[in-house]
A and B are shown apart, each in its own frame.
Chain A
């Protein structure tokens, strides 16, 4: 029984890792989803986009970007670039509404 639980927990970690990688990659594959271009505005020149890119660390290779994202998730520092707010805080803000919908 103990071995079974350990095996399942290891499997859970592997699944969570795979999910995080897929979520990370989806936003690199979806077209027109470059956050730097979005923050820089409609008629931004390439230099501004490049600067925003560098600020967000989007000019680094993908594995480094992934590690940065995971570090920020585990330290609770992940910021939403669309709303410029802390993601953990946003999730907590949404919990009461989700919970009340779940229990009907």
Chain B
């Protein structure tokens, strides 16, 4: 009796105490088991909470701008004065040094050299950075899943051609390819058939970042598909007369969904790092629009006189990327404890 109960438990779960009636043993889905494992990983949960807080913080940007700061992200206040300790002080001093962080109502995190409110720019910039991270991760995931499904299902010459194309993209350093595409596309914009994107659109960095990371995600997923392709249930599906699309999307795709979820989470963090780097180098988000990368680029010339311009967005990038990476690792451990999948870059 006890032995059978033990056998029905998932590995890693504590066995039920002896004498528990069978009626109390409930069926548990893989998702529920994954959630039980994730729930024990307090660090991963904490990091998920941190990320949610950062997202909420950035979503609150219009509220803060309207009710507390009374200014937009791109509005200059270079000639204005604010009251600090009862004394009117220049937002940007005569030597070009902006006011630093402090509790003076407006300008909670100080101003930059153009007299723009750093707090408001931080919140709006975070929206841009997180939006780019998420959208580019969606682009990467969709493209790489399609590539991996086609290559892994058909194998043969289709696999060879797709793999060689991935090799070509892989041969370029991610940052170099991003800068080259970013500078080239920023002038003329992007036109592929009906798809037309203006040069200053936020979708240019999204498409670039989404594109350059495709091989890094497609290759491991293709490997999993190749292994699944040999399993009996695919043979059974073929014997039942299911078509290639049906097998790819309703047989193979559900079996790699946990891998995709983990990759998606880790990919957001990579994308945000690449977005910051590209924006810092001037090949990402176009000024005056704020993103955390452009804020660092704007502020690094004043790193000695006004360090808050670079430290504040830098800390936000670190917090976001760190929380996403730790949560992604926790998610991987929870969804498939034996998996060794890694998103290298």
Chain A residues within CB distance 8 Å of chain B: 7, 11, 14-15, 18-19, 22, 26, 29-31
Contacts and interface: CB of A to CB of B under 8 A. Distances in A.
B184 A29 contact: yes
Measured as residues with beta carbon below 8 angstroms from the partner, the interface class of chain B is: 10 to 19
9 contacts: A11-B164, A11-B167, A15-B167, A18-B168, A19-B168, A19-B172, A22-B172, A30-B180, A30-B183
Nearest to B180: A26
Contacts of A30: 180, 183-184
Contacts of B184: 26, 29-31
Contact of B160 (A11, A22, A29, A31): A11
B187 interface: yes
Contact of A19 (B160, B163, B171, B187): B171
Given A26-B184, A30-B184, A7 B168 contact: no
The 7 closest A-B pairs by CB, nearest first: A29-B184, A18-B168, A31-B187, A15-B167, A26-B180, A19-B171, A11-B164
Contacts of B183: 30-31
A18 B167 CA distance: 10
Contacts, number: 27
Contacts of A11: 160, 163-164, 167
Contacts of A7: 160
Contacts of B167: 11, 15
Nearest to B179: A30
A15 B180 CA distance: 19
Interface in B145-165: 160, 163-165
B219 to A, nearest CB: 14
Contacts of A18: 164-165, 168
A30 B186 CA distance: 9
Contacts of A29: 184
Most buried by A among B172, B180, B187: B180
Nearest to B160: A11
A8 to B, nearest CB: 9
A18 B183 CA distance: 21
Contacts of B163: 11
A66 to B, nearest CB: 16
B187 A15 contact: no
Given A22-B168, A30-B183, 11 more contacts: A7-B160, A11-B163, A11-B164, A15-B167, A15-B171, A18-B164, A18-B165, A18-B168, A19-B171, A26-B184, A31-B184
